[in-house]
Amino acid sequence: MSLKPAFNALMLLFLSVAILSCKEDNSGISEGNLSFTLSVTTGGTNGRTVESASPKAILLSVKDSDGLYIFNQQKFPIYKIGDEYLTENLQFNIGSYTIEDFIVLDSVDSAIYLTPKTGSEFEELVSSPLPIHFTINSNEVTEILIDVIPADLGDASQFGYATISFNVVHVAVIQPDSIAGKDAIIGSFIPDTNFGEREDIHLYAWTQGGELNIHRVVMDFQYSNLPSGSIIDSAFLSLHFNTTSKYLDALSLDGHSGENSFTIEKITQAWHEENVTWNNQPTTTAVGKITVPASESITMDYKINVSNIITDLYENPESGFGLMLKHEVEEPYKVTFLASSDHPNPALRPKLTIYYH
């Protein structure tokens, strides 16, 4: 006999997904907010009394459509407002995601409720065991209902978890200025000229005097903000449209142009911002490269999941020396206008956000 109906009354978690409108004014990234609202029902079921321990945090793991962790056993605080418990808004790009872990913790970080996983002994006690898929769409509000059951019904394996534990995830934001920043354009038209101090790091494939001119970008970040021995959970590279690029007027354009998808590869050879050129550009590897789709608007900003490649660079500093960006097809006519670490507006400089424990 299924116990599912009896346990559904224990606790219902309403996942309110509030979608913001697309940011087409300054950014082409479509984003939404995911927040959790917990409505707790205590009482007896089948003669069992549920302890009313107060929820203090949620332990959450979420993967994107490529199977990469957005959050990996990350702890989020819960705030009580009236009779409900709320989390902060979690920002997601428009797309599809999967909830892999969902555990409610008390004030001493003990698991008090959790959602069992498919294939576990307790999967039939809830209507939808993990993993649970959800999609954030533009201009739409979505609600997802998650059931959880008391954690003291059994041990971790009976819920489908290897262990019921968590990592306290920290964040490091690296957005260097013109002094600490290390980025440069390398151009084929003037192959021995260094462009390490420009406010532009635009990707480019255009003709000049009938000759193809290609621009690529090299960049690197310092990881001194991370304590020794840190483990990276995820990393995101933010690149911003350069609103003041002189090339906008030179090309009579209002923004990005052409089929401008680009790739990000790990650099495997040392280089220096003040003397790197097209002719001495460092070597790269295509292993683990990231492909970024063509821009969705002419003033699009980018937020790119670079978790795997940044983890590799951090863990193997002797074999990695930053990132090279280049158009996926380096043929006319296309350009991607990006701001460098030398840009006068600090908000537009490249930013690397790392979540670690």
- For the chain, the structural domain boundaries read 4-168, 172-356
Instruction: State which fold the 172-356 domain adopts.
Output: Jelly Rolls (2.60.120)
276, 192 Cβ separation under 8 angstroms = no
Structure token digits, residue 109: 């970080």
Where does residue 322 fall: left (phi above 0), alpha (psi -120 to 50 degrees), or beta otherwise? left
Give the pLDDT of residue 141: 59
pLDDT the model gives residue 80: 80
Report the pLDDT value the prediction gives residue 25, as an integer from 0 to 100.
37
Average pLDDT for consecutive 10-residue bins of the chain (357 residues)?
Answer: 36 42 41 60 39 78 90 86 74 86 88 92 88 80 74 89 69 94 96 95 93 97 90 93 94 96 98 97 96 95 94 95 98 97 97 91
pLDDT of residue 16: 41
pLDDT of residue 143: 64
Task: Compute CA distances 280 → 107, 139, 326, whole Å.
Answer: 56, 47, 16
Q: What number of other Cβ atoms are within 10 A of residue 293's Cβ?
A: 11
